[in-house]
Structure 1
Amino acid sequence: MTQRPPAPQSRRTFLRMSGIAGITAASAGALAAAGCGSNTGRPGAQGDELVHWYHQYGEDGVQQAVERYAAEFDGAQVRVQWTPGNYDTKLQAALQGSGPPDVFEYQTKVDLVRAGLLEPLDDVIAGARDDFTEAALASHTVDGTVYGIPQAVDTQILVYRRSLLDGAGLEPPASFDALLDAARALTDGDRKGLFVGNDGGVTTLAPLALFSVGLRLVTDDRRPGFAEPEAARAYRGLRELFESDALLLGAPTDWSDPAAFTQELTAMQWTGLWALPQIEEAFPGDYGVLPWPKLTDAGADSVPVGAFGAMAYAEGGKVDLAKEYIRWLWVERTDLQEDFNLGYGFHIPPRRSIADRADALAEGPAADVVRYVDELGRTSSPPEWTPAMDSALKDALTGVVRGGADPDRELRVAAETVQDELDRLYG
C-alpha cells in the first residue's frame, strides 16, 4: 500500500503534497464524475447512505477488503468509491464541487482546514489518542486539532548487509560521518557502498538532513526551518556524499525498489519498510535496518513517517454519521485495522497496541522499524507544507547536491518562497 516510483497507481507517496488553489467549480464537477468504481455496503435506513472514497491501491485485495469493511457497518449503507487516476486532483475538485464524498482518505493540509472542508475529529479519536504513533497523528493535526484518523504508517529505513559490514570490520553506522566512511569502505569494483536514489537523495533526504542537525521544515512560529546556518551544513554533507564516488547513481530502478540492494549493486540502501519481505527472501538473516543518522550533537536520528488518514467532509449534511463510521472503522475495529495494514502489503498499524501484537512485526528488522517509528518517527510532510514549498526546497537541494551550488544562497532563495506560502496560509 505504498507508492513506489515509478509505478503510477500504488499506495502512498512520501512527501505527497496537496493544494486546493486553481480548481474551478466547472472542472470540479467534471473530475468528480470521472471513471470511479463503487461498491454498496449493508443497507441502512432510507437515506442513510455514506460515500467513502479511496484512491486506487497497488496491492491485490485492498479494494475487496475495504468493500467488505463497509458491508459490516450497520449504521448506514456505505458506498465505497474506488478512485483510479489522479486521486489528489479528483478529490480536491470534488470537495469544491457538487459531488463531495462524506468520508475520504487523504493527508491533512492547512489549505483544506482553513477552507472549512475538514471536520475536526478530536471527539472521534479521544478514547484512543494516546495509542496512536505520535508522528502519524502529528501529520493530521493543525493547531492542536485532529482532522484525520491515521490508517496505516509507511516509513523509510537504511538497510545494510551484515556480512559485508562484518567483513570490513565495521559497525552499523551511528552517525552521518560513520555512514560516509562505511560507504567508502564498502565500495568495491561494481558494488557501491550506498544508494539513496538516482537523484543523489534529493527526493528522499531533504527533511532528514534537517532533522540530522536539529532543524525541521517549518518552525512553530511559522518560519522556514532551514533558514539557519546548520541547514547549509546538513546539505553540504549530502554534497560530500554525492562526490564521494561511494554513491550508486543510475540504478535500473529507484530507491523505493530494493533491486539495487538484492542484486548486490550496493551494500547499503535507503528504501521503504515495504521492501523487507523481498530483502528477507534474498538475504535471509543477513541484513539489518537503521534510521537516517544524525550529523551533529544537536541533531537526531530519524525515520520519516507518512500516514493517510480517514476524514469527514465538513460541509455535508451527514457529518455526525460520517464521524460515527470513522470511529467504528478506524478506532473501534482494531481487527480490521490490522487486516488493512498487514493483509495486503507490509505496513505498520498506527496504533501501538496493534503493532505490538502483530506477529509479522514481532522480531528481527521489522521489529526494529516499529521501534524506530515509535521513538524516532518524524513527520516529513507537515500539514502546512505545500507543493510550492516542496518545489522550492527541492530545486535548492538539486543545485547544492548535484550542481555544487552555494547552499547559503540557494536556501535563502527557497526560504523566500516558503515564507510567502506561510504568509498566504496564515495571513
Structure 2
Amino acid sequence: MPARIPNAGLSRRDLLKRTGGLAALAAFTAACGGNTGRPSSSGGGGGSKVTLSQWYHQYGEAGTKEAALKYAKAYTDSNVAVTWVPGDYGAKLASGLLSSNGPDVFESQLNVAMVKSGQVVPLDDILGDAKADFNPNDLKTNTVDGKLYGIKMIDDPQVFYYRKSMFSKAGIKPPETIDDLIAAAKTLTTDKVKGIFIGNDGGNICGGPALWSSGGQYLTDDNKPDFNNARAAQAFSKLHQFFADKSVLLGAPADWWDPGAFVQGLAAIQWTGLWAMPAIQKALGDDFGVFAYPKLDAQGKQALPSGGWTQFVSAKSANIDAAKKFVKWLWVDNAEDQEDWNLNYGFHIPPRKSLAAKATKLQTGAAAEVVKLNQDFGVVDRPAWTPKMATGFTDLLNNVIRKGADPTGELAKLDKTVNTELARLFG
C-alpha cells in the first residue's frame, strides 16, 4: 500500500482533495498553528543565503525522505530545510498556510479556495519554454482564471488490471464497453474467485470514471455542473449492476489501492494504480494486462483518473522569489531528479512528456500501455470541485451502488449541492 494514501476510508482522489484542497478551505476558519517546525531564515542580509522551508507529507515508499533531503542539499542558491510532516498533513498544512511560520514551498493539490484566499502565488513565469513539455492535463488541473499556481511532481493514473490466463480460459477479451465488463465479471465469478474488485465499498472509486465514460464531467471549463442527465444516471446504474450480480469482491484484506486481492487470486479484475504494477509483475510475471474504464456505449469514451502531487509556493513566504527559483530548479529544470523521484522509490509517470517518453521503466509492456492510456484518456481534478461537492458525490455513489437508489433522484440532490457551492465560490 503506498503511503500516499493515509486514510483507508476515502477514495484516493477524495483523499488527495482532503489532504490538499481541503487544507485551503479549512484555512478560512482554522486557528493559526503554533510551532510548525519551520527553521528561522537569515532573510538574506549581508550576502548570506535565505533558508526555505519545504513541506512534504509522510511518504511510505522507501527512500523518499532521503531523496527529498538529497535534492535540498544539492541546491546551492538557498538553504532548503525539509519538513517531513507525519499524521494529518491536510490539517497541519491548513494551519501552516495561515501563518508566516508555515512553509515557503509545499506539496498539495490545487483548490480554487487556495487562490481566492491568497494562499498561493502564480508560477507561470518559471515554466518558460518547458511549458510545452508538460502533460496538458497537469497544467489544466493547476490553473485558475488563466494563471498557473502549481508544478506537478508526479502523475498517478488508475486502471483495471486483469488476469490474462483467466480471460483466455473463459474465452473473454478485454472489454470495450461497460456492458462487456459487467458480463466478463459475471462470467469470471466462481465459488472461489470474484470477477472484479473495485474497492470494499463496492465501487465508489469508479464513480468519476463512470461519469466520464458517459461523456460527462464534474464541471465544465466555465465551472457549470455537467452530470445531471440521463447518460450519467445510466453510467451510475451500471456500477450497481456489479453489486446486484454479486460479481464484485467485498471485504478484501486490503482496499483497492493495494494489489493484494488481485495477486492472491481473489478477483480476476481489479481497479488500482500504476504504483501497484511492480508488485503485480513480481507476483504474476506476464499474466496480467491493463485497460481503462470502458466507454458507456458507442457514444461514450474510455476514461481513467490521473491524480498525483503538485508543488506550490506559499503567498505568506518572506522569500517568494527565492522559493520560486528553487521550485524551478527542482521541478522544471532538474530532469534527473524528477525521473529519480517518480521511478526509483515508487512507480509513477513524470509530468514532463520528454521524461515519460524516455524513462526505461515505462517503455515496454503494461507500463507503456498505462502511459499511453493516461495521455489519451486521463482526466484530472477541477480546482473548483470542492470537498463538499466530493462528499455529495460520495453520498450519491453509496446510495446507488449499495442501496440501489434511483440515480436520477440522487443526481438532482448533487446538482443542488454543487450549485450552492458554486454560488458561494463565484457569487
Q: 1:92 aligns with which of 88, 91, 94?
A: 94
Q: Secondary structure at the match of 1:289?
A: strand
Q: How does 1:99-138 map to 2 (within 5 A)?
A: 99-138=101-140
1:319 aligns with 2:334: no
Whole-angstrom distance in 2 between the partners of 1:15 and 1:73: 28
Contact 1:291 1:301 in 2 (8 A): yes
1:240 alignment counterpart: 241
- Aligned counterpart, 2:190: 188
Counterpart CA distance in 2 for 1:6 and 1:65 is 24
Q: Which amino acid in the other structure matches residue 378 of structure 2?
A: G
Question: 2 CA distance for matches of 1:73 and 1:197?
Answer: 42
Residue type of the alignment partner of 2:222: D
**Structure-2 separation of matches of 1:189 and 1:344:** 38
- Provide, for residues 284-337 of structure 1, a one-character-per-residue CA deviation record: whole Å limited to 9, x for no partner: 111000101110233210111112111111243311111111110001100000
Query: Structure 1 stretch 259-268 or stretch 98-107: which is displaced more?
Result: 98-107
Kept after mapping to 2: 8 A contact 1:212/1:301: yes
Match of 1:279 in 2: 280
Task: Give the Å deviation of 1:134.
Answer: 2.1
CA contact (8 A) 1:56 1:83 kept: yes
* Displacement of 1:24: 7.2
SS of corresponding position for 1:194: strand
Contact 2:214–2:300 under 8 Å retained in 1: yes
Q: What's the offset of the Cα at 1:136?
A: 2.3
Instruction: State yes or no: 1:409 paired with 2:409.
Output: yes
Aligned to 2:33, the other structure's residue is in SS state: helix
Matched, 1:335 2:327: no
Q: CA deviation at 1:7?
A: 6.4
Which residue number corresponds to residue 385 of structure 1?
Answer: 385
| Alignment gaps of 5+ in structure 1 | none
Asked if structure 2 preserves the Cα contact closer than 8 Å seen for 1:4 and 1:257, the reply is: no
Deviation at 1:5, TM superposition (A): 6.0
Runs of 4+ in 1 over 6 A off after TM superposition: 37-40
Aligned residue number for residue 65 of structure 2: 63
Number of residue equivalences:
418
Secondary structure (helix, strand or coil) at the match of 2:270 reads strand
The structure-2 alpha-carbon separation of the partners of 1:2 and 1:139, relative to structure 1 and needing over 3 Å to count, comes to farther
Alpha-carbon distance in 2 for matches of 1:326, 1:13: 26
Counterpart residue type for residue 63 of structure 1: K
SS in 2 for 1:27: coil
- In structure 2, the partner of 1:269 is 270
SS of 1:217 mapped into structure 2: strand
Q: CA deviation at 1:14?
A: 5.5
- Tell me by how many angstroms 1:143 deviates: 2.3
SS at the partner of 1:159?
strand
Describe the superposition over 1:169-227 as per-residue Cα deviations: whole angstroms up to 9, x where unpaired: 1111111111111111111221011110111111x112111101000011233222212
2:32 alignment counterpart? 28
Q: 1:157 aligns with which of 135, 140, 159?
A: 159
* Cα 1:400–1:24 shift into 2, 3 Å: closer
Aligned partner of residue 210 in structure 1, secondary structure:
helix
Deviation at 1:418, TM superposition (A): 1.0
Give per-residue Cα distances to partners, 1:21-64, cap 9 Å, x unaligned.
4557883223xx25x59899xx9942511111111111121111
Q: Distance in 2 between matches of 1:12 and 1:199?
A: 15
Decide whether the 8 Å contact of 1:2 with 1:12 is kept in 2: no
| Matched AA of 1:92 | A
For residue 303 of structure 2, what is the aligned residue in structure 1?
302
Quote the residue 2:74 is aligned against. 72
Distance 1:247 1:424 in 2: 39
Q: Give the Cα separation in 1 of the matches to 2:296 and 2:25.
A: 37
Q: What amino acid is the match of 1:413?
A: K
User: In structure 2, what is the equivalent of residue 395 of structure 1?
Assistant: 395
- Whether contact under 8 Å (2:249, 2:267) holds in the other structure is yes
1:131–1:351 contact (8 Å) kept in structure 2: yes
- Per-residue CA deviations over 1:334-384 (Å, capped at 9, x if unaligned) read 0000111111111111111111111111101011111111111101x3211
8 A contact 2:97–2:316 mirrored in 1 = no
Residues 38 and 81 in structure 1, CA contact (< 8 A), matched pair in contact too: no
Distance in structure 1 (CA, Å) of the matches to 2:125 and 2:7: 39
Look up the SS of the partner of 2:245 in the other structure: coil
Change (3 A) 1:264 1:25: closer
Q: CA deviation at 1:146?
A: 1.0
Change (3 A) 1:386 1:149: same
Counterpart-to-counterpart distance in 2, 1:359 and 1:68 = 23
Query: 2:388 and 2:304 mapped to 1: Cα distance?
Result: 24
For 1:176, which of 155, 175, 178 is the aligned residue?
178
Q: CA offsets, 1:142-190, max 9 Å, x none?
A: 1222111000111111000111111111111111111111111111221
TM-score by length of 1: 0.93
Residue 165 of structure 1 aligns to which amino acid in structure 2?
A: F
Q: Tell me the equivalent position of 1:419.
A: 419
Q: CA-atom RMSD, angstroms?
A: 2.2
- One-letter amino acid matched to 1:153: D
Q: Gaps (5+ residues) in structure 2?
A: none
1: distance between equivalents of 2:418 and 2:312?
27
Q: Distance in 2 between matches of 1:287 and 1:305?
A: 21
CA distance in 2: counterparts of 1:132 and 1:371, whole angstroms: 15
- Paired amino acid for 1:285: D
Alignment correspondent of 1:199:
201
What code does the residue aligned with 1:318 have?
N
1:357–1:13 distance in 2 versus 1, CA, 3 Å: farther
